[in-house]
């Protein structure tokens, strides 16, 4: 099976690409290497690996790369509210229009597996878990572009979308600006964090389990296709305060406090049900506690200023 991944050198892509190659798939990655990352070096020894430096919005390039592919995985994205707000044109053209381009150029037989975000739920009802049937009310440009991209893919058909929880964990293309990764980094280096809207809740998932859910979707594509799936940990619908309490168990010197003034620019607040994906037989391998221990080791190696998008 031949797979095309756009943005395959990123935080998720560098984990997923290796996982696909290890399963014997042929993988072509197109990435603009905007961050000068070297995250795919360990993939270069695979005969079935092809790397193309290019832009996911380049119609001529994408049309050429699609010719012999069976599966398309569009990972190229401006990820997160702060980055999208910094360059709104890029956010729209990469997160939405590039996906719409793939839908137009791909044949009806080619399968698309698209990651989006459960931030599309915006602000949920207290104590009520969002399901895939809940209304989508994104409160950021990032969420808006991802909701529109998901709709384009599902309207096109022969596709699966994964509404990812907040991702955490170590990747060859590390990102420290993700919530769990950021808080653990602060705990290791600063021993303290100041919280804004500490009671706001999110759901979480390890980056390796995100790679695993793509493999699961490919294996069970026919019975799963043409539906969205929340992908997160059922026992990890946690507030920022609860997340800090978990980190403190591993780093007792860590202290956290809520700011009396100020606010978080990302105001999403919801809990999520992941029962639909669990009903297909998928089971995550990584708990939040396991990820925190992994990240503590990671921050003995990496410097916090070198691994972020913003």
CA distance 48 to 44: 9
Lowest mean pLDDT of 197-201, 205-209, 265-269, 284-288, name the range: 265-269
Question: How far apart, in Å, are the Cα atoms of 48 and each of 4, 45, 51, 199, 210?
Answer: 12, 9, 10, 47, 22
33: Cβ–Cβ under 8 A, 6 or more apart, which residues? 9, 53
Chain segment 209-244, per-residue pLDDT in tens:
999 999 999 999 999 999 999 999 999 999 999 999
CA distance 270 to 121: 7
Q: How many other β-carbons are positioned within 10 Å of the β-carbon of residue 246?
A: 18
Task: Give the residue from 82, 251, 99, 282 showing the smallest Cα distance to 175.
Answer: 82
Task: Give the residue from 211, 285, 167 showing the smallest Cα distance to 19.
Answer: 211
The neighbouring-strand residues paired with 73 are 5
Q: How confident is the model at residue 305 (pLDDT cuts 50, 70, 90)?
A: low
Q: How confident is the model at residue 267 (pLDDT cuts 50, 70, 90)?
A: confident
Q: What pLDDT does residue 304 have?
A: 63
Chain segment 112-139, per-residue pLDDT in tens:
999 999 989 998 998 899 999 999 999 8
CA distance 181 to 79: 15
Q: What is the mean pLDDT of the chain?
A: 95
Is the pTM above the cut of 0.75?
yes
Task: Give the residue from 103, 116, 111 showing the smallest Cα distance to 63.
Answer: 103
Q: Which residues of 13-47 are buried (b: 16+ CB within 10 A; e: fewer)?
A: bbbbbbbbbeeebbbbbbbbeebebebbeebeebe
Task: Give the residue from 197, 174, 194 showing the smallest Cα distance to 183.
Answer: 194
Q: What pLDDT does residue 80 have?
A: 86
Q: Taking residues 268-286, report their average pLDDT.
A: 96
Contact status, residue 52 vs residue 65, Cβ threshold 8 Å: yes
Chain segment 153-163, per-residue pLDDT in tens:
999 999 999 99
Chain centroid to Cα 6, Å, comes to: 13
Number of independent structural domains in the chain = 1
Q: What's the CATH code of the domain at 123?
A: 3.40.50.720
231: Cβ–Cβ under 8 A, 6 or more apart, which residues? 162, 163, 164, 165, 205, 209, 210, 213, 274, 277
Q: How confident is the model at residue 150 (pLDDT cuts 50, 70, 90)?
A: very high
Task: Kindly tell me if the per-residue pLDDT of 297 is higher than 80.
Answer: yes
Contact status, residue 187 vs residue 251, Cβ threshold 8 Å: yes
| Phi, psi values for residue 136, rounded to 5° | -95, 125
Q: What pLDDT does residue 303 have?
A: 75
Q: How confident is the model at residue 262 (pLDDT cuts 50, 70, 90)?
A: confident
Q: What pLDDT does residue 259 have?
A: 87
CA distance 35 to 270: 31
Domain span at 204: 2-306
């Amino acid at each position: 099976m031949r797979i095309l991944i756009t943005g395959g050198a990123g935080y998720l892509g560098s984990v997923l690409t290796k996982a696909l190659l290890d399963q014997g798939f042929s993988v072509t990655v197109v990435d603009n290497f905007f961050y000068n990352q070297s995250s795919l070096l360990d993939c270069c020894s695979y005969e079935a690996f092809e790397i193309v430096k290019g832009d996911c919005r380049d119609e001529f390039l994408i049309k050429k790369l699609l010719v012999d592919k069976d599966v398309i995985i569009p990972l190229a994205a401006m990820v997160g509210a702060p980055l999208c707000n910094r360059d709104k044109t890029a956010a729209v053209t990469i997160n939405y229009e590039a996906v719409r381009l793939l839908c137009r150029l791909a044949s009806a037989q080619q399968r698309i597996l698209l990651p989006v975000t459960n931030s599309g739920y915006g602000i949920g009802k207290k104590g009520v878990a969002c399901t895939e049937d809940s209304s989508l009310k994104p409160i950021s440009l990032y969420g808006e572009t991802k909701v529109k991209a998901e709709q384009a893919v599902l309207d096109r058909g022969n596709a699966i979308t994964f509404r990812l929880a907040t991702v955490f964990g170590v990747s060859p293309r590390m990102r420290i600006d993700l919530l769990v990764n950021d808080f653990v980094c602060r705990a290791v280096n600063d021993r303290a964090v100041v919280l804004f809207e500490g009671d706001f809740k999110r759901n979480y998932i390890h980056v390796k389990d995100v790679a695993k859910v793509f493999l699961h979707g490919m294996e069970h594509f026919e019975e799963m296709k043409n539906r969205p799936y929340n992908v997160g940990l059922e026992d990890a619908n946690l507030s920022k305060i609860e997340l800090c309490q978990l980190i403190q168990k591993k780093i007792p010197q860590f202290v956290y406090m809520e700011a009396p003034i100020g606010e978080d620019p990302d105001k999403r607040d919801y809990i999520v049900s992941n029962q639909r994906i669990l009903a297909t037989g998928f089971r995550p391998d990584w708990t939040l506690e396991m990820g925190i221990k992994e990240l503590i080791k990671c921050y003995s190696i990496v410097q916090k200023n070198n691994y972020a998008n913003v």
